[in-house]
Structure 1
Amino acid sequence: MTEVLAVAAVLGSGVTAGVLFAVALSVLPALFAMDNGTYVHAHQLLGRNWDPTMPVIVLSSTLADGVLAVAADGAARPLFAAAAVLLLGVSGVSHLCNVPINRRVKAITDPAVIPPDWQDPRPLWRRWHYLRTALAVVALVLNGAALAVI
């Protein structure tokens, strides 16, 4: 049973890291190349299907790692524990940093009319996104290492 749960943790953290890496590699540069109105419209469209899918994947993987941190033996235990903490960090950065920015962008009702006091959230959003991407990639590496030593 430990092996099955470990594979699930690797898959979940792999999907998380892969999605976040793809956004960092391709989506973010595209969003930065857009004028403000086009960016707002694109951001609103891109954000539609992330919830609840990504939170479920991240939190399920975190839970699997947490269970494995208790159930696994030997060298795998601290690796799963560290991966759980990192994935919890991914979730925390997402919910506390990126999601509030997303809400501000989604609140713009007409992307063709950006308020004059609007501050472009892209640089801040990118910094938080890079942090959660790094956390997810390290969690994936740890989960892979833990699976290898089970």
Structure 2
Amino acid sequence: MKKVLIALDYDPSAQKIAKTGFSFAKTMKAEITLLHVLVNTQDYKLAEHVKVMGFAGRLDISEELSGKTSGLKELSQQFLDKSKLYLGDNRIQTLLVEGDCAEAILNAANQISADVIVMGSHSRKWFENTTMGSVTEKVLQNTTIPVLIIPTKKQSKS
């Protein structure tokens, strides 16, 4: 395996996914590409600051960005750049794409000729306890590339 694609979003679990994928890729001496998929601006309307891997940004996208993606692209590229800095390897490539998450991940994997896709299993939907995230499920159903799924569900204390 020579190329690893690590798909990241703004969820705090991105740090675990990035660190695990990075370690996995380094063990194999593989090239690493960090991917973020820019989706509908409505999905970025959050009330709080996001802090993950050195990135701290407010994702409360107001009317001035509604329908525009230039500000979101800049913010998303900053997220990828901070993630790369956090991992401490200047050779890491970053890729920012727009579209449906699963399709964009699959297209990016093909574009860079990835040998493996690393992604998380979280879901923000009500069926979180019974299934992995719908994006992860869709990627698994539509790829022939191996997928390393990092479990990100919060562990309950026993």
Name which structure has the greater RCO, CA cutoff 8 Å, separation 6+: 1
Note whether the superposition's TM-score is higher than 0.5.
no
More helix by share: 1
More strand by share: 2
Structure with larger Rg: 1
